[in-house]
Structure 1
Amino acid sequence: MSLSSLKQRLTARLEPVAGWQPDRTAGRSDFDLNPQENRPARTLKPAAVLVPVIARPDGATVLLTRRSDQLASHPGQIAFPGGRLDAGETAAVAALREAWEEVALVPDRVEVLGLGDAYETGTGFLVTPVVGWLNVPPEVKAAPDEVAELFEVPWDFLMNRLNHRQDFYDREGEPRRWFWAMPWQERYIWGVTAGIVRALRTRLYGNEPEPAVATAEDAA
């Protein structure tokens, strides 16, 4: 795997951290696959997630969490470390803080490379993905009241479009709702997390004349 090629691509194609604004326009959303739904006019609540890319010798991986089953919102779902911005925080600062609180990832060990497309959730959040690079596999520990499990998924898997699928669920009396999903082993990555991964893949490789060839340059 060309870790240097991957890092160079991330640095070149992500938005600079210095350009972040709290009212930035959402580039992706839960409504992309559901154009039949009314997109309400509202003030979105700013949030951020850290996408931790770990440069392992046998190929890059991405650190993900499974949320505690005891949480009031989205219990048991797969997620990146992250949450709402505190007053005065930037997206990068909030993402690093949340990663420290949720999985004990030391902020100084993370090299922030840039920002992905802002993502509007159906629940009214504007989520900024902050992509961080870790040269050394980190020592992490789940905060038991927030995180049930920590695991890593190969970068190759997440960036392979063959692993991206559109699933749905039906709600009584409402239109069918579609979402991105990318099941990995026994884990089901879906919803906002999968949407962020899909948007990141498009941002990094979508404009290449031959995306599969470009992806392979960064793959194991």
Structure 2
Amino acid sequence: MSAIRDRLVDMHLRGHRRDVHGIRSENEMAPETRRDAAVLIAVTERAEEDGPGPGVFLIERPAKMRNHGGQVALPGGAIDPGENAVQAALREAHEEIALPLSAVHVIGPTDRYVTGTGFSITPILATVSPNLKLRANPAEVDEWFEAPLSHLLDPASWSTRSLFYRGRDRQFLETHWDGHHIWGATAGIFANLAMRLGWEGWD
């Protein structure tokens, strides 16, 4: 096992044995009927001393999409009948960016995130081999990119913004990486992961 996989396996195990307060969700804004979905948090097994260190694969949705068009997201989507969250996350990552399943080492699920649009998302934490040759599926993905894990889990990287949505002010996190705007559910999932893992700087 790689050093980052060892570290994440240990942090994931210890983190899910303890109570964590302040886990984010949009549950109060979501419709009563929700659709189960899953996303893959794929961390590259790159040593921290090698350039940017471990990264996470993210995608940018085509602007023409009806739901979340133009937004940055984790690979993933709705869970099909007969699937569990791990199977759905892996299938979607393979369909969206041609992620080879043989390169993925699943660690496990983490805190569910309910979106205001009615998706109940289970994030699946995993590590993947570095330097993979991925390919974006143009029907679902404009482009894929890798952002440093250290940036995504560092509270100093994030700022809080608000917008008026469905008759109320909504607070959300946002950050930027290499020209990409990361916010909304994706931001909330990373904040929850950092808190669950006990990443330094998160309360």
* TM-score interval for Structure 1 and Structure 2 normalised by the shorter chain: 0.7 to 0.9
8 Å contact kept, 2:46–2:54: yes
The correspondence for 1:56, drawn from 43, 46, 49, is 46
Inter-partner Cα distance in structure 2 for 1:65 and 1:133: 17
Aligned residue in 2 for 1:29: 25
1:21 is matched with which residue? none
Aligned pair partner of 1:141 in 125, 135, 154: 135
Q: 1:73 to 1:159 in 2, by over 3 A?
A: same
List alignment gaps of at least 5 residues for structure 1: 16-26, 32-36, 213-220
The aligned amino acid for 2:96 is E
TM-score, normalising length from structure 1? 0.79
Q: How far apart are residue 39 of structure 1 and its match?
A: 6.1
Secondary structure of 1:87 counterpart = coil
TM-score of the superposed pair, with normalisation by structure 2:
0.85
What is the distance in 2 between the residues matched to 1:143 and 1:7?
28
1:192 aligns to 2:199 (yes or no): no
- List aligned pairs for 1:149-160, cutoff 5 A: 149-160=143-154
- Deviations along 1:64-99, whole A, 9 cap, x unmatched? 000011211111100011000010101000000000
Task: Using the TM superposition, give the Cα deviation of residue 167 of structure 1 relative to its aligned residue in structure 2, in angstroms.
Answer: 1.0
Pairs aligned (count): 189
Match of 1:178 among 157, 171, 174: 171
Runs (4+) of structure 1 exceeding 4 A deviation are 37-40
**RMSD after superposition:** 2.2
Provide the rounded CA distance (Å) in 1 between the counterparts of 2:43 and 2:30. 32
Unaligned runs of 5+ in 2: 14-22
Q: Give the conservation status (yes or no) of the 8 Å contact 1:85–1:94.
A: yes
Work out the percentage of aligned pairs sharing the same amino acid: 39
> Residue in 2 aligned with 1:24?
none
Alignment pair present for 1:120 and 2:114: yes
